[in-house]
Structure 1
């Protein structure tokens, strides 16, 4: 039994309709995949940017920590050097004062230090004025002269051993420098915990 030409045409039309429907579904699926791909790409891009930002912050934090550690080590070295210098100057002063007991004509000496009161809240001292004066037993007290202590520490080789007044001033200056270095060391350690 042979099929009629009209039924064959109907089958072809049905197949063409099925093919068109399948093609449309494939196009819709492709669009959906493209949309999901776009969302995924945007999400991945945002994650990459966030990771880069976190990496940059981590590098900055490591740099700050390394800088703080190097400053603390430098402060420790400076404190150790200043302590040695203070001990050396105190030793020289004690030797000189021990030898000056036999010279009654030598006048009495006094040393005072004045600190800037506006900077005494844990920070460094802006300037220190050392007042050195002489007072003889048979004379009235005179107004002591003033001199500014340099901000940098003096090396032991540059310290002249001239008189007890000079030694007293140097001991006071180095003691102040030691105190300032210890304050700076405390600030650098407390600021990066």
Structure 2
């Protein structure tokens, strides 16, 4: 079962006069990654290296450090901890002493690893994107149901009624599907929307 972390966590360490700061944060999608990196852009740093993993998708960035010395070791710690839906950003403020490639790998991987050790891990519950239609007079029932189950959704009003897209946990699909058939007397079905993967 994949795990993720519950909240943002920070860890700092000084290595040969360079200051390393690792920030680990749970992320749902690539947009969340972009937003977080944008918000945490820090011009005082010498390098801002990062790696993230969401499902089967991974990315990493050495931000000017020698290739393979920063982003990849950070990613290795994420995968070594069997985590997903996690972004780890490691900031470095250069202190004047070169660490060499081995030293950089240890510094970036080590700082990221220490940071993830502090994080509280939770089982990641798989979610699926689903969609369904309902009439205006049925929408209040579904809205109540979705809110009770803490399901994220967006609704779009059309001439025919309400078109709903929701992100549901896998175990919620069956009961929600039954509810839709029940309320709409079998007129509407819950449809699972397949996400296009980059893979």
Alignment TM class, shorter chain as reference: under 0.3
1 or 2, which has the higher helix percentage?
1
More strand, by proportion: 2
Which structure's CA Rg is the greater one?
A: 1
Normalising by structure 2, report the TM-score: 0.24
